[in-house]
Chain A
Amino acid sequence: MMEKKRIVEEGLLEQYLIGDLPLDQQLEVEQLLASDASLRKEYKQMEASFEALAFEQSIIPPNEIKDQLKKVIEKKSSNPYQKFAFPIAAGLALLFGLSTFWMFTKWQSTETDLLDLQNQTSSLQSRIQSIEDSYQTVNTNLENINNGQVIPVVLYGNQKAPGSRVVAYVNHDQKIVFVNPETLPPLPADKTYQMWSDVDGEMIDMGLLDSKRNLIELKYIEAAESLNITIEPAGGNDHPTVADLVSYVTL
């Protein structure tokens, strides 16, 4: 680092002022100027005198020089590439932005479509499963009621269930009974239909009948002489309420 004393005594500040120092010395002077306030003050005064001197010695240049300068500067500024560089860059940036936005939108839209498609597929699968289940049920029911071993029996409703026709499908070989109670009239919520088998004068419970269903499997009772339907409290009864007998058939 140069010493301040040397800079002042050797006139390096004056040389720095006119740009007459080699680069290394120039940098050192600049460092010292940045760190030493008194030297900086001295340099500022020197600059002020230098500038004042220049204005005293000034000579007004001919106007043509400014005109010529304008031509040169404006020619450089009117370089088409330079002039349009910003608008072109801005245009390209806008185009890039728009295309990116368009692609993003398309991507989002495609993703939504894909999601919809997946949902639809899932819904279709679920519906197919449901149809398959229904088909399986219908098929099973059909097999249960439509074979040579099944004896269909019709129970006509009395005045408590006028016009109803309950069909019971009895298979003595496989010991199963299916009943279609659809035609029974609806009951209040606290009541239910119950079916009974009469065996040697004793009524044996076969199960409850839900008139909303079209085929119900009931308990098969060996040696039943007749089938009977009564109206009972909701949940069923241990013994039939004979007064509320709706229908019966002798087997």
Chain B
Amino acid sequence: MIRNLDDIQLTKKVSEGDERALYQLYDKYSSAIYGVILRMCRDEDQAKDLLQETFVKIWKNIDGYDPKKGRFYTWAYRIARNTVLNSIRKQKNLIQTEELGVHTNTEAEENPKDFTVLEGSLAQLEPHHQRAITLVYYMGHTHHEAHKVMDVPLGTFKSYIRQALKQLKTIYGRELILVWSFFEMMI
């Protein structure tokens, strides 16, 4: 909650032209967004450029962010995702197919390089849930693309995502209780 309040104040300052507020948002969210971008484009040099481009877009379009509609991270994620997808579309050697959208090599997507190794709670999920979340959140697939990559019906894929999010919610809730208990003990 405090984080969200801070974010609202920071985004307000950014919209007033305060560069330092933008750098604060960068410090806070760049690693989370860079994790997404790097996993989507799988190229470090390109990922650096795209992260910079994402924050320039945030700077320019901050007035389009409405805190009532959701968190800053969600908004920033959408910008990063679109920036990466547009960049991939522009690549000359891309062979675009309707089935796979902007992605051409399913094998590469399923076997990312080291920097795309998934960490933390996501690793606790069942493999098909991990894969569903990875395809959508970290590879930029739409649901219509991703269910084909996984070769399951669209409805099944959607339920994978829903179940995965439910599990994550349970995991984060449990972790929150543990952290809370720890603080209680400290007091």
Interface residues of A (CB under 8 A from B): 10-11, 14-15, 17-20, 30, 33, 43, 45-62, 64-66, 68-70, 72-74, 76-77
Contact = CB atoms under 8 A, between A and B. Distances in A.
Interface stretch (B28-36, B87-95, B103-111): B28-36
A14 B82 contact: no
Interface size class on chain B is 35 or more
A100 to B, nearest CB: 30
Contact of B70 (A20, A47, A65, A66): A47
A61 B31 contact: yes
A20 B165 contact: no
B56 interface: yes
Q: Dominant SS at the B interface?
A: helix
Nearest to B162: A11
B50 to A, nearest CB: 10
A77 B59 CA distance: 11
Interface of B: 17, 19, 22-23, 26-27, 30-36, 38-39, 47-48, 51-52, 55-56, 59, 69-71, 73-74, 77-78, 81-82, 115, 118-122, 133, 136-138, 142-143, 158-159, 161-162, 165, 168-169, 172
Contact of B35 (A43, A50, A57): A57
Contacts of A66: 23, 26-27, 30
A18 B74 CA distance: 7
Contacts of A74: 19
B136 to A, nearest CB: 6
Nearest to A34: B68
